[in-house]
A and B are shown apart, each in its own frame.
Chain A
Amino acid sequence: MVYHPQDRTGRPLTAAGPGDDGDTIAAQATPPGRGGVGIIRVSGPRAGAIARAVTGKELSPRQAEYLPFFDSGGEVLDQGIALFFAGPHSFTGEDVLELQGHGGPVIMDMLLRRVQELGARMARPGEFSLRAFLNDKLDLAQAEAIADLIDSSTEAAARSALKSLRGEFSRRIEALLEQLIELRVFVESAIDFPEEEIDFLADPQLRQRLDRLANSLQDVLAAAGQGCLLREGMNLVILGRPNAGKSSLLNRLAGRDSAIVTAVPGTTRDVLREQIQLDGMPVNVIDTAGLRDSGDEVEREGMRRAWEEVGRADRVLLVFDDSTGFGTQEKAILRRLPAGLEVTLVRNKIDLSGGDSRWRQTDHGPSIGISAREGLGLDVLKAHLKQVMGYQGSGDNVFMARRRHVEALERARAAVERGRRQLVEHGAGELLAEELRQAQQALNEITGEFDNEALLGRIFASFCIGK
């Protein structure tokens, strides 16, 4: 065992468990949407201070109070109920604050940003439950469930959060990352290899690159602030062989005729998208060309795009004709889907087959019967979608994941700005390097690991280094 010298000085160990990094975490505890009441939950050592700052008064533990929530300028954000639980007598065993406000996404967003500003960070999937468990607030029997929660929700959230962003947005983040890495390659090689004939810290290009990175971060954040990041919606892709009724389903969900619906297979040659609202939360429904082998070039192009959409999907609706049933072609489609992508089977045309609209669990996923033409079973389908897409229940979901992303981008921007000042005002290259490392850590939370080793690899690939 490694031990650390501080231990020998008898420094008291804190009561907090190992899963707790000392951070205060926050999340929306209610499903996102236009629902009546929304709850923001905060847990950790700063919960008390946050309560005081938001409500402007000292809350008595376990007593609900109806009062205004203030922003940093003292303006009222919302009126609602605040509840404070002092640890260990709380759900997580830590100090916990609950703010119950109006449930609309805008207010919830503002409240979350407010608690972030006061030092909370967005909770990771399952983190409240994890802390509760580690602080003996949940029993062993519940541990299995927590493991499931962490496991499935993380994967789903991470997958959808990045992929479901419109192509352009994720491309911009990739471009940001690349700009940052290039800068770090310059700065770190100047520090680690001073005997090479490169002194990038003195190069005016460095400052320009730094400015460009700062601007790009600013642009991406501005775009996110306008809501296209947080409120962009889930991507629901409708797949199926030609004439299975995909376009009719899209029109039903969208409530108007956006796709040309004919009885001729292959009518939809391109990708059609509609944004619909399920209880106030947006869903992008994407109807794709029918999937079949075709000699028609236009149709082939349509199918290529269909698969591209699948790559960004949060969920697939696989539509088939209930009277012919789930067959080999449907199985072939399923086999081509990326691993882990959730699928709902839609048995269409039950008006012709005489089938029912009941929800069933099958080997390939949940299955629901509808008639797109007659409008049968659509309420069952919508309820099902709300449930699976995280609009019900308080688990982690893509909206939480995206809020975490915005928070990470903000941290990256702040670090780049500090680094720029260190270089420009003080010529402190090693402090610029440190700030860029912080920015990298923040972006890593969105794009995945890029560590010291990978950076060294880039340095050695870029410059001939070493005596």
Chain B
Amino acid sequence: MFYQQRFDVIVVGGGHAGTEAALAAARMGRRTLLLTHNIETLGQMSCNPAIGGIGKGHLVKEVDALDGIMARAADRAGIQFRILNARKGPAVRATRAQCDRVLYKAAVRAALENQPNLSLFQQAVDDLLVENGRVSGVITQMGLKFAAPTVVLTVGTFLGGKIHIGLENYAGGRAGDPPANALARRLRELPFTVERLKTGTPPRIDGRSINYSRLQVQPGDEPTPVFSYLGRREEHPRQVNCYITATNARTHDIIREGLSRSPMYTGVIEGVGPRYCPSVEDKVMRFADKDSHQIFVEPEGLETHEVYPNGISTSLPFDVQYRLVRSIAGFEQAHIIRPGYAIEYDFFDPRDLKPSLETKHIGGLYFAGQINGTTGYEEAAAQGLIAGLNAALQVKDEEPWSPGREQAYMGVLIDDLITRGTQEPYRMFTSRAEYRLLLREDNADERLTEIGYRLGLVSESRWQAWQQKREAIEREEQRLRATWLHPQTPAAQRLETLLGQPLTREASLMDLLRRPEMSYSKLMALEQAGPAVDQAQVAEQVEIRAKYAGYIERQKNEIERNRRQADTPIPQHLDYDQVAGLSAEVRQKLQRVRPATIEQAGRIPGVTPAAISLLLVHLKRLRAAGS
């Protein structure tokens, strides 16, 4: 039967992609339905309960700048906050929050339940309704049909999942959950390219069995950072420590002895795992000269004793896991609560997606999250938000929107996926971004909030807050440019002690702030330079913009130069065989990716500047022939 109510957007899956997608569509005023096989697991942190980190924290701030839930939930659930790279320059600083799993889930659930225009329904989805190449709804496990012109699929954890512990394996989703097999089978019948990936988790340990006196303490930062632009320290629950220990020679011996029963080293696992987050057996084998590897001992919450030993992901048989864990300092008496395992799962080649994350083969159908070959909550959330907002735009027949690489890490993420595909679980790193100095955690609001507001994604209150901040920044910059200090004045003499050299000619406060040895707070300590702005976020922006001014300008020029290419569309169904002069190899690559713009085409590996010129000539001829 058909469910009576019609929806604009149906989101399938309630993980980090699904919740952001549903919230985004609903914020934009579309009638939205979130379908999940289990409402209790909405917003579940299925792996390590931490949000953020280098590159990932950047994504979270961007989701926040577009009024997504992730940063706000992390502020309510974070039990240890740190700023990574704090001493390395603002562009590469990133926030990381260790979270209480239960509190996080509760924060997300509350947001979902209180979101206008959003309905929840608990049923697994088994099939899609497709008519004339367009999606028209979904069918649930019990045969119930829901109709909608757009569907966002976020069923990544885990499609066709197969769990390995030692040489044993069985079908399964995220530990404890059933795999989405009916849907996986159905999707395999559609014209998408399906590939297989692998990931793993460590055994979880009962914290009461850990000897913490043998571990190194890793406290959170003081003062405690906040994640959301609108977040407040008072929202944080009680803060706790993390700890560090390490593997040793004996651990490595135990691992080597167990390899004959490792599914990875005996060829049972075929999926490709990530290069950056190897299992502990991989670390020992690939880096044989290292006699120790760090383990970060992270609490899973305030009300649980479960501990996540980050760094010993493994799929070795349980008896080996048991011995290797107990060989580690502090873990001598450790009790394992859940065994570690590896999981293989399906993903769909993201080169079959448009920048909006709509699939190229089926209109109105969007994919977001792990289904696209990514790993990580943050990567999932970013895609969910983009897919949800584009589904919402499509319902109203509006142009799709997706940020460019120069605008957001979200743009880097999506462009990498749809242009290059991925051979391993894709994770964000700052080195993936060309415009790293522009894409900072501290300015995601500057980059995105206004656009989000115009798209209808950002609430009035966030918009007001950002406008106030922006005006305060501009006012202060104006003041610094207009206030001059003159040599041979008392202020100049005090300045000399700060600069280590005399002021030789008059200088504006802005000139002085640009000097490497100067900081905003030092400058404001001068009586003649104040008063300083009282909002820390404003002072920070003024300082960073002054310090990076030259680099920001250079990167902006670079962007400007690429703009015309970015603004030159390539028809989706262009016949590349008709483009004179292209080599067979380049032709094939262009056909696989079907880039949306000349600029995207230029970023496909192996597509040369000459090939781009040939494409431009061809497009011009097409236009001339058409007119």
Contacts and interface: CB of A to CB of B under 8 A. Distances in A.
A148 B614 CA distance: 9
B432 A456 contact: yes
B610 A150 contact: yes
Nearest to B616: A19
A4 B436 contact: no
Interface of A: 1-5, 7-8, 13-14, 16-23, 124-127, 130, 133-134, 140, 143-144, 146-148, 150-151, 154-155, 188, 190-197, 201, 425-426, 428-431, 433-434, 437, 449, 451-453, 455-457, 459-461, 464-467
Contact of A151 (B278, B430, B614): B614
Contact of A430 (B88, B434, B560): B88
B431 interface: yes
Nearest to B448: A5
Given A193-B54, A453-B420, A467-B294, A125 B610 contact: yes
Contact of A126 (B276, B277, B613, B621): B613
Contacts of A16: 564
A404 B407 CA distance: 31
Query: Which of A14, A21, A148 counts the most B-chain CB atoms under 10 A from its CB?
Result: A21
A209 to B, nearest CB: 18
B561 A23 contact: yes
A143 B620 contact: yes
B432 A452 contact: yes
Interface in B510-535: 516
Interface string B586-627: 000000000011100000011011100110111011001100
A21 to B, nearest CB: 5
B247 to A, nearest CB: 11
Contacts of B265: none
B92 interface: yes
Contact of A133 (B310, B598, B620): B620
B437 A192 contact: no
Contacts of A464: 278, 283, 286-287, 290, 293
Nearest to B563: A4
Nearest to A11: B563
5 contacts: A5-B450, A18-B565, A150-B610, A429-B88, A433-B436
Contact of B620 (A1, A134, A148, A461): A134
A355 B540 CA distance: 84
B598 A143 contact: no
Contact of B276 (A3, A148, A460): A460
Interface in B22-49: 48
Contacts of B456: none
Interface string B540-583: 00000000000100000000111111111100000000001100
Contacts of A429: 88-89, 92
Interface stretch (B118-126, B330-338, B395-403, B477-485): B395-403
A437 B91 CA distance: 15
A146 B516 contact: no
B207 interface: no
B192 interface: no
A154 B566 CA distance: 24
B569 A1 contact: yes
Interface magnitude class on chain B: 35 or more
B429 interface: yes
Contacts of B277: 466-467
A22 B84 contact: no
Given A2-B596, A19-B616, A449 B286 contact: no
Interface string B286-301: 1100100111100000
Contacts of A456: 275-276, 429, 431-432
A19 B613 contact: yes
Contact of B516 (A18, A190, A191, A426): A426
B276 A466 contact: yes
Given A154-B608, A428-B89, A457-B275, A13 B567 contact: yes
B610 A154 contact: yes
A434 to B, nearest CB: 6
Contacts of A188: 431
Given A13-B567, A21-B562, A430-B436, A195 B451 contact: no
B68 interface: no
Which 6 pairs between the two chains have the least Cβ-Cβ distance?
A: A466-B277, A151-B581, A18-B568, A460-B275, A430-B89, A154-B610
B454 interface: yes
A415 to B, nearest CB: 11
B404 interface: yes
Interface string B424-458: 00000111101011000000000000110010000
Given A22-B560, A452-B432, A467-B311, A431 B567 contact: no
Nearest to A135: B620
B355 interface: yes
Contact of B88 (A155, A201, A453): A201
A4 B567 contact: yes
Q: Which of B295, B401, B430, B564 has the most CB of A within 10 A?
A: B564
A22 B568 CA distance: 15
Contacts of A17: 564, 616, 620
A395 to B, nearest CB: 14
Contact of B399 (A3, A22, A190): A3
A147 B91 contact: no
B274 interface: yes
Contacts of B488: none
Contacts of A5: 407, 450-451, 454
B605 A449 contact: yes
Nearest to A1: B569
B85 interface: yes
Nearest to B422: A453
B581 A465 contact: no
Contact of A124 (B278, B451, B609): B609
B388 interface: no
A359 B463 CA distance: 76
Nearest to B295: A467
B366 to A, nearest CB: 15
Given A18-B598, A150-B613, A150-B614, A4 B621 contact: no
Contacts of A453: 420, 432, 605
Nearest to A2: B355
A192 B54 contact: yes
A258 B397 CA distance: 78
B399 A21 contact: no
**Which of B290, B311, B609 has the most CB atoms of chain A within a 10 A radius of its CB?**
B609
Contact of A467 (B310, B596, B618): B310
Given A456-B276, A460-B276, A467-B310, 8 more contacts: A124-B609, A130-B616, A148-B581, A201-B88, A434-B437, A451-B605, A453-B420, A459-B431
B624 to A, nearest CB: 6
A449 B606 CA distance: 8
B536 to A, nearest CB: 21
Interface in B350-395: 355
A459 B295 CA distance: 20
